[in-house]
Structure 1
Amino acid sequence: MSLVRNYDTKTKDDKKYLNAFSTVSLIIAAYLTIIIIFQNISTFPLWAHIVIFTVLLLLVASPLGIAVRAHREDSDRYAQALLEERGYKSTPGMSSEICKAEDSIDYHELPSEEGQAKAALDDERLSDEVNMNLLQALCTVNFWLLFIAMFCGLGSGLAMINNIGQIGESMDYTATERNSLVSLLSIWNFLGRFGAGFVSDIFLHRGGWARPLFVAITLAIMTIGHIVVASGFSKNLYLGTVLVGVAYGSQWSLMPTITSEIFGVGHMGTIFNTIAIASPVGSYTFSVRVIGYIYDKVGSGEDSACSGTRCFMLSFMIMASVAFFGVLVALVLFFRTRRFYKSVVFRRLRHS
């Protein structure tokens, strides 16, 4: 925390650099995905591993170059502005040119005192209209709808992540394939976190779609993913991890944003982390009480080892049912907050 500093932002300039950071992240994800796929197809020699690792280090270090470039351009702009300011002050005969420049500027009438007072009142109303503390949020139905939806989605998704190695082993996946599944699942998780906020922003600003609808969509995708894993067809885990991983990451991106929009930003950290308790609670419920219990029941031998689709089929059908229940809960939240988004969130966006 001693390294954190507050700086004034310039949205127009900063967006270019933020997009550059995002581009690098996507390039790294694509690079790792390609490498993982090729590692499953063939075996690399030592020199190929060295080249792959070197390229990866360069990609990981490239954001530092973006930051240095941004700092240099910001310093150049500041120095240029300082020189121009000194030039205007010290150059004689500049007043006529300044007057000509001022003539080309469109001046707008300043708001009246009544207009300024109304604008200040709107600012205060927008900041206080939705700014609940934790106890106030706990007394609302929307809080528990979001909590239950996250319990169904984050809990079942994390249960699959925790058990993906053992699931692959029971279905006779090789060690290399199981390691690849774990790595690919992390990449799909990243893509979900990265893309869900971006996509939901587009539909929110352009189409007026309230963000809880996307929670329902991601839970529906997760439902399909659980069914794919339960089905047990050949190489089903590759497709199942894509669906569950993207949906799981998307929910981690959507949940804090929805929390800030519905309950405000004043106590957003406390409310967000309270809702996030749904993830470990759901993970324990599904990993231990569902997957672990059923696995021990159907296992055979002294070490209770289990092989075949029967080991996890029932568990994932249960989690698919739970995720589908989460879809219904998220749809209820969507219909409950649709008017709120139109009357408060959209107005706040226009105001900002």
Structure 2
Amino acid sequence: MCTIRQAKEALTIYQEKKSAGEPILKALRLWPVVNVFWKVENLEPEEAVSFDCLHALHDSLFGHHLLEELKILLSKLPRKYAVQLEEQLAAFPSWQGLAHFNGILHVSYADGNKLRDLVQQTFYTALNILTNNVSREGYQLLWMLCSYLELDSLIGLDVHIDKTLELIEREQLVFGSELKEYVSHVANGELAEHLKMDWNFPKVHLWKHVVWDIQNKGAAHNYSTWPNEKMHGSLKDAYQDCSNGKDVAVQVLRVDHHHLAMKLIRNQVDAEANRTQQDCNDDDIDGRGDEDVLMSFSEHVKLGSPQSPKSIQSIIRDHASQQEFQGFHQKFTWFVNQCLPIYLNCDQNSWKNISFAKTF
């Protein structure tokens, strides 16, 4: 992981002398281009990027790779095996919150939530079909799916301790071993020209960073894109039912709930921008003018923070002599879990409680 400062320094060296800058950029795994995120004050993009189970696992590693391998394997086996798998999939017991499927071979899903449910059901319905005698590659693929599900379950826990993080790291090694075994079976089998042998793509490596994310940012549900997935349906309905397919953005905003949401967001941005501008005018931060602190993009929107991020630990340390800051992490935890849902008009029952350690 590199910082913006490292990237800027490397680019400066490259611009002055290409031969001197190339090895530095290569070591940092960067291209010699200016990053637009450099305009945002006190931001470190690589620290901000977090592991997202929905798109890195369900919609990608399984949906675009493991599932496709399974479809190819079944298409190369006698038809009876594919029929049996789909019959067993259709007979899978119903469960609240679990999507039900009748087919797998000729259906594609764009919803990562459905793919999350599908991988759980597919694994169990394929256990008595893809045996070692029927398909060595298919049998090994099930071993990969087994490790995948273990990791998905561990990463998805709402609370983590040292033991669970250790289990994640241990299971990642297991998945890597099963993947190598699968590639070996494919290379030595009859389906080498049909199945994937090169698994060197970004999202198969991403979960190697998940333990760092959990240690520094909390449980994975804190930075999941899963909640926003439910908005896709309403946006699709607005497009199909409330527009003619042209100038869509303007027409979609005429839908009442979307218009209200956008209006609220705009008002909040305007108010925050005005407050920040006033603060900068009243008190020149660190001796710099406000034009050095915030990057202006229009009359009412500014990106950046006038102050560098501070940890809870540093706040407690800086105000150790002040009585009102005693037990600050406990007070802050109470505020986030009790007051914030009310301010945001959220359902208290659906709010996931967040805890902050004193050494956060």
With normalisation by structure 2, the TM-score equals: 0.24
Structure with the larger RCO, 1 or 2 (CA within 8 Å, 6+ apart): 1
Compare the two structures and name the one with the higher helix fraction: 1
With normalisation by structure 1, the TM-score equals: 0.25
